[in-house]
Structure 1
């Protein structure tokens, strides 16, 4: 089988594609992995060959942050800004995928760029699989508005709302995404999340429901051969957390220094072993505003609670370092680190949310955009997390939310959820892709949440 995998978006969007490409390659298949240009090196550095397509993720994130129309009081202005953002980069994606598709047997895409990839697949007559990290197809189970009050609305409102959103997105893309001429092709939406988090959704959406595509063994955060990092020091010998200190691994996204430092495992392990379990904080590729103020707020909250702080800086311009009470690193192996933390504070990306669920850690989800507020509300309803929009986060509010998730009943529910958490989502997604090409996508495989024998 020759598979073209197209996963654009942030690292959280691309990581499942990298893991799926690795799994298919290990099964003996030929795989072309296409990623946003700024993530190609990341995949290659971990032994998964990749080629660029479309535009850099950071360009799109920067455009969203700097477009003043998103802050307008006029909903029509905000809608036009959203439509423009949806169209940005589509012509480049189309051109790149049209050049890559010939010679393959199947096209697979993530949620970001799904319509572009399906258009190309139909144009060349190839089967198509979309990997959904969240239930975005019309259904009456998931509230269409990610707010507490929306759960009280009747199901038909949710289904209608999701249908309206789908038509709105299609309208936004119509000027730059022509309807592909060609035969109807076999297609499937792989539901890559745990349906238990949205009770009843597996009875309404076609599968297969494969579970979260987790990096369960730290493959994408391994750092073989990494050298110890020397931390910049002030005169009082306090580590500096606002300057990047290792030029080998500092990259630039939209002119912002971004620390992607990979500390050797023993360094972080030794810090974790030295004292009590810390509070983990990580916002991935999301904007945290003023980095210095952000770190100061986290320090204050953790100090008041008598807890240490472990901060994964992600794409924020926060340099690494270690103190007795604070550790700041570029990224961590969630599977190894989160079980050693007392709580996880993060942006609510599907990957981080799943990793915290697997670790049995209560969560505070500070959502920024996309599906993040939906995860926050879903886990809040199940008593597994507290949630707040990141723009409303203050030190006092964070402390109050940490109080909520520190209750014994929340801690117990998180542990119970972890005990039944499936970790073979990548392998089951690979099963579904193979079945699609082999025309063996049976009803059992479509609807079963477990891996087929």
Structure 2
């Protein structure tokens, strides 16, 4: 899953060619056994006939048809991207990247391209890349995490799902802790000052790769746009299966099976990290996400997604909606490179050699691999340049063998006849862009996917799995690459790619999906509006600079300011029928009650243990009964009473004081124990009443409201319940429509059916009307109470969870002060702004 760059920094043995880290999920064993089997190469064998896969197929089909959250228009073919998209707003953009140097490097190119539009760009990634980022002219924020450890983990546990040996060794828990650290680091990258310059920063937009995980949640907390970018397919499609999935033979429709494969991988991933993400969400005042919504969150919310590969290699699937673009590989300008005399002499001394290298892949037996390579080279009679890489391949150089350590791929690949490598996205892109036929020897993860794509394009043979590699297979693959037809296909592919500009197209995609109509400041249109100034008859959207000037001149009161929600994100747990809805809500409520019951028992014990540990372990020993001098003895008292300093307290006084301290400590511990128990009881009571009064009725109302889907009738869309007002509105509308449609349909559906299909239609209509009456009326009745209470609960939660909101407000005010100071508007410019504000407010109030 390596992200490409035009030169990969050229270090065949560097971090550039590393794959991004695995998701390190702690997978439920029963689920994996039933629906999927993780292979040694990290790919997942998906059992399409399992109960889980079959159920998932039904859920996915329901989600595809969900008109409560309709997808963007589908476009059959490539989206229209020829028209240049301008952006007249200068934004604070944070780019959150988890992975290796090869994953970070292309986003540096993206950041530099974004800077050309006047955007301020902060790249948030691992600490070790600080210098790499800042030397490129971008701001840097450290999110924690060690890419070297992540790479070591993926080598041992390729793909997404760890092997049982890793579970036993505790490695998964270490990686989960690292993910928790990176989640918090990503959040801080959105609102905290620059760690070096201390210049304030608050993000207006987030760009991220999926393994950073925090993206959507940070955007939800800030109500700002988010845009995902990645080098491998992460959006479900019927065109091809998930790159990490091997599908079993089944009678399931192949197109449905392809889509199910994405669901299986996503659900397994959430199995392992859902609890980590939800704990972190609680720390930034966000509600937990249910296990049914978490896995497919990006698709459910229709988050804009840009894929960084050539559409000539993988055409855009026809079932992808218009919020998804393919822009081309990300390439940077090639570096200046001068080969060593020995390398240049080797290149000039004969026909173009074949490049063979596996970059940062750590091979168990490098000596055996070297022997395979040398035998294959001897069989084909070609010359070869062999990259030593992290496995330290190599032996004694020969007249037709040259070993290299570091060399930029984009320079080297111009001077070779073909390339053999592990199938990282960056190396694959570099070889294809130079028109070189390619043999891929995949080790794990998405590498087989890229190998198959190259073979499908006719630019190389089918991939040879590392475990199956031998000298004959490698020799046959090299010979195949050197045939005129394959070489010609590779050159033709390069010609198609030469007109692509991946980075520029990605910036266009990013601008195209911004809600620019909601982002302009009313007074300074070139700045984004981040505040809403509330007036009696309307609101004014203001930028940080405009607000600071208005506050400095006493024109507005900060208490009338609200954060402008440019892109509010609401995550609802959707229900498909009353039975599963009530069951799911009951399970969630029961889980919370069980958890609080455990806290009632365990937390007092923790307070008791803490109290015991705070007591001196040597209390009441003979040593502690040694003379104790008064604490009040001072140099002043010593001067007036020279003997005061030498007079110890008597033994009885010492014992009395010790017993008194012990008694106070015991009382304090007892009080803490009672408090901990009462706190657990409060959580238990809260979970019970919230479940009975809010969650269960809401699940029932929603479940009944969704039943008409079963016979092809879509429920009406009332929007999302955000507070008590929207809850009351939805409850009222659902009551009126439910009662009306339920009773009306009971009489009209049989008549309608008879008119269309005769007697059989009348029977179907009667059944349809009966079901409608039995579901719409209960939904109307229950929802009249459930939806308002659901809204009230959300209003209370919003009021209680204010820590993060206050932090965002303070950060924006702090940045506004700094930006205004640096901008240095003249007196005339400020007066012009004040006059326009006065006219605008007068117009609104009149």
TM range (shorter): 0.7 to 0.9
Match of 1:218 in 2: 334
Whether 2:307 is the aligned partner of 1:207: answer: no
Partner of 2:206: 107
Alpha-carbon displacement from aligned partner over 1:289-325 (angstroms, at most 9, x marks no partner): 3344433432332233222222344444469997643
Q: Secondary structure at the match of 1:328?
A: strand
Rg comparison, structure with higher value: 2
* Greater strand fraction, Structure 1 or Structure 2: 1
Query: Are 2:487 and 1:411 equivalent residues in the alignment?
Result: yes
Give the superposition deviation at 1:440. Answer: 7.4
TM-score, normalised on structure 2?
A: 0.42
Determine if contact 1:109/1:131 at 8 Å carries over to the other structure.
Answer: yes
Could you tell me which runs of 5 or more consecutive residues in structure 2 were left unpaired when the two chains were aligned. Answer: 1-90, 192-201, 288-297, 519-846
- Please name the residue that 2:314 is paired with: 198
TM-superposed deviation, 1:5: 1.1
- Say if 2:127 is the partner of 1:37: yes
Inter-partner Cα distance in structure 2 for 1:35 and 1:320: 37
Q: Which runs of 5+ in 1 are unaligned?
A: 224-262, 442-453
Question: Which of 393, 412, 427 is the equivalent residue of 2:469?
Answer: 393
Corresponding position of 1:156: 256
For residues 40-66 of structure 1, the C-alpha deviation after alignment (integer angstroms, 9 at most, x for no partner) is: 444456665544323111101223444
In structure 2, the CA distance between the partners of 1:315 and 1:14, relative to structure 1 (3 Å rule), is: farther
SS of structure 2 residue aligned to 1:201 = coil
**Match for residue 368 of structure 1 among 413, 419, 443:** 443
Aligned to 2:112: 22
Report which stretch shifted further, 180-189 or 51-60.
180-189
Report deviation, 1:330: 3.5
Shift in Å at residue 15 of structure 1?
Answer: 2.2
Question: Structure 1 residues 165 and 363 mapped into 2: Cα distance closer, same or farther (>3 Å)?
Answer: same
Q: 1:287 is matched with which residue: 345, 351, 362?
A: 362
TM-score normalised to structure 1 length? 0.75
Aligned to 2:146: 56
From 131, 135, 138, give the equivalent of 2:229.
131
Q: Does the aligned pair in 1 maintain the 2:234–2:262 contact within 8 Å?
A: yes
Q: Deviations over 1:311-370 (max 9, x none)?
A: 344444469997643333344333332132111111111111111111111111111222
For structure 1, which segment, 412-421 or 163-172, has the greater mean C-alpha deviation from structure 2 after superposition?
163-172
Measure the CA separation in 2 of the matches of 1:39 and 1:326.
35
Bigger mean CA deviation after superposition, 21-30 or 6-15: 21-30
Contact 1:348–1:366 (Cα < 8 Å) also in 2: yes
Q: Is contact 2:386-2:394 (8 Å) kept?
A: no
Instruction: Output the CA distance in 2 between the equivalents of 1:384 and 1:311.
Output: 21
Q: Whole-Å Cα distance in 2 between the matches of residues 193 and 29 of structure 1?
A: 24
1:400/1:201 Cα in 2 relative to 1: closer, same or farther (>3 Å)?
same
2:407 to 319, 332, 340: 332
- Tell me if the contact between 2:237 and 2:320 (Cα under 8 Å) persists in the aligned partners: yes
Matched, 1:188 2:304: yes
User: Using the alignment, how far apart are the partners of 1:371 and 1:198 within structure 2?
Assistant: 14
C-alpha spacing 1:66/1:163, structure 2 compared with 1 (3 Å):
closer
Q: C-alpha offsets along residues 79-115 of structure 1, whole Å, 9 cap, x if unaligned?
A: 99997687352111112112110112211112322x2
Which protein is richer in helix relative to its size?
2
Q: Which moved more, 1:119-128 or 1:263-272?
A: 263-272
Distance (Å, rounded) in 1 between the aligned partners of 2:135 and 2:389? 17
Alpha-carbon shift at residue 425 of structure 1 (Å): 0.2
Counterpart check, 1:380 vs 2:496: no
Partners of 2:190 and 2:317 in 1: CA distance: 33
Corresponding residue to 1:432 among 509, 513, 520: 509
